[in-house]
Amino acid sequence: MSGPRDDAVLGTQEGAHIPARAKFFLCASYALAAWAWRSWEFIVALVLIELYPESLLMVSAYGLLDNLARVLLGPVVGNYVDRHERLPGAQAMLRLQNLCIGGSAAAALVLLWPGSTAARLKASYWALMWLLTALGACSSAGSTGVSIAVEREAVKALCGPDGRALARLNSLMRAIDLSALLCAPLAAGLLMTATGPFTAVAAMAGYCGAAYVPEVLLLGAAFRAAPVLGQPKIRTAAAADHADAANEHTGLLAEYENGTDGGGAAAEPATPGCSPSSKPLHGGGGGGGDSFGSAAGGDKSSTAGSMEALEVVAVAAKGGGGGGSGGGGGDGGGIATRLRAARRAAARHAAAYADSWIVFWRQRVLLLCCALALLYMTVLSLGFLMTSFLKWSGLTEAEVSGYRGIGALTGLAATALFPPLSARAGLLFCAVAGVTYQLACLAAGVLPVAVEVMAAAGSGGGGRPSTTQVRILVAGLVSSRTGLWLYDLAVTQLIQEEVGQDQLGSVYGVQSSLQAVCEMLSFVAGLVSPDPARFHWLMLGSLGAVASAAALVWCHACCTGRGGRIPVTATEGDGTAA
């Protein structure tokens, strides 16, 4: 059994075999995609205000739909990434993101076109407004898929069992995302101010169309530079057993459907790993994971199986194929076949959605994932609600913008701190330290403001805190970002090391969905208590959510009993062993 020194030597040797060109190409592709999404995420809100200046209805609808898209589509996107090999899955997510942004931008251009008749007609105006809003929200599903496929799954495959290299590359990816979060809205805002909304939206649409090609080319170059990225995903032993059982069950089910449907497409023999109706069978076992249909297998048949499944559904949707008259004949038979195919497709998607949640709840890092989601159920960030409160409290827009920039820099500090700290103290220590530091910073900023406001209200004074106390609050918020992103990076790598390759997408998809639910709850709290004079109650509730997250992390640390270090063997484990 090797000691820490041997582990360090091993990590250094393994890190030397990670091609630098592959890391560069992977990061460059992700940077282009992150810049596109972060820019449009900022522009779309300004465009909606420009097109509907009378109220914040459309902006609120966009925020709601954006979170709903992640709630409903996050597990589905993660399941899709699991069922496909890395390169096709990542390319599909890049297409989804760019197509949604491009479609949303096209709808905005039609409405912003000078003298547009569509903007004057009520029916076309609202149709394009909702198309703009819905596609803009759906782009977040594509960005979630890109994050899962590139930032999480490809990074893990590239670094393999080298935990230190994985920590460095995770930090680099997070730094890219935070830099895009800071700089892309700034550049988009300057462009919109200098040239107007129409030019800014046109430039964004052109960027998405032009950036897709280098995104895909850079991604392909990364896969060629590091052949390990192109290797088939490896299923866990338990998942393979379940997949074999699912194949046997699928064959019997396909024979039954062939005898009842009568369509030409359904008469094809069921081949293992290729049936569109295959479902995973969850056995009892020691915990965690099941395969998501046999298409998630660790061989090259996964992509072929997915394509054959799509072909079967497509043929069925046409009415049973070339000579398909057994479904009832004529148009009636075609409609019946389409309905059966639609029902089966809906059932498969529902089963995949449920399976993703089942796999998520069986993971050993469940408490850490739930704690990360709770950190999103807060108004203690420099978002819309807190920005409005700070402005109401007397701070200027320029001062608030400066604090946002400082907050981004403190978040970037976590990406520099995480690799050496995780190498010396372990991932679990980083998680505990990060969430504890965040809680301490927020408590130091929130409690003085809340006490002052409640004391002033009790004595008959106003509910507005002093400027000094507000600046103390902001200092706590800004400082807490280091702890937040330190915890985020630690949990990200723990998931990568604890969860099997064929389940990473599903776990991250459900994690994104859970975070969106908690973020929606924070907006609901703002709707329930919109009075800025009572905002301190929302801050105290948010502090309670962060404290609950810290309690979950501390419970996980106490239950593991490992003193903060994750064994090296966990990087090669299947994520299902106890």
Residues 62 and 178 in one domain: yes
The pLDDT value given to residue 91: 93
Q: Which residues contact 159 (CB under 8 A, 6 or more apart)?
A: 15, 18, 165, 166, 169
CATH number of the domain encompassing residue 159: 1.20.1250.20
Residues 400 and 348 in one domain: no
User: Domain range spanning residue 505?
Assistant: 363-578
Residues 166 and 45 in one domain: yes
CA 514 to chain centre: 10
Residue 7 lies in a domain: no
Residues 300 and 418 in one domain: no
Residue 147 lies in a domain: yes
Residues 394 and 532 in one domain: yes
Residues 177 and 72 in one domain: yes
Of 361, 379, 401, the domain-final residue? 361
Can you spell out the DSSP letters for 410-438?
Answer: HHHHHHHHHHHHHHHH-HHHHHHHHHHHH
Instruction: Report phi then psi at 218, rounded to 5.
Output: -65, -40
Residues 333 and 184 in one domain: no
Can you spell out the DSSP letters for 52-117?
Answer: -TT-SHHHHHHHHHHHHHHHHHHHHHHHHHHHS-HHHHHHHHHHHHHHHHHHHHHHHHHHHSTT-S
Residue 111 lies in a domain: yes
Residue 5 lies in a domain: no
The number of folded domains in the chain is 3
| DSSP code for 120 | T
The pLDDT value given to residue 193: 82
Exposure pattern of 31-63 as b/e (b: 16+ CB <10 Å)?
Answer: bbbbbbbbbbbbbbbbbbebbbeeeeebbebbb
Of 199, 216, 231, the domain-final residue? 231
Residues 412 and 265 in one domain: no
The pLDDT value given to residue 7: 40
Residue 552 lies in a domain: yes
Residue 73 lies in a domain: yes
Residues 456 and 567 in one domain: yes
The pLDDT value given to residue 483: 95
Residue 3 lies in a domain: no
Residues 220 and 298 in one domain: no
The pLDDT value given to residue 235: 57
The pLDDT value given to residue 475: 94
Residue 385 lies in a domain: yes
Residues 227 and 324 in one domain: no
**Over the chain (578 residues), what is each successive 10-residue block's mean pLDDT?**
40 58 94 90 83 75 84 88 90 92 91 82 88 89 91 90 90 91 83 86 87 93 91 60 43 40 40 36 36 37 42 42 44 75 81 85 91 92 82 82 86 93 92 96 93 77 79 94 95 90 86 90 82 88 95 92 44 36
| DSSP code for 27 | H
Residues 422 and 567 in one domain: yes
Q: 450 near 539, Cβ under 8 Å?
A: yes
Of 231, 247, 281, the domain-final residue? 231
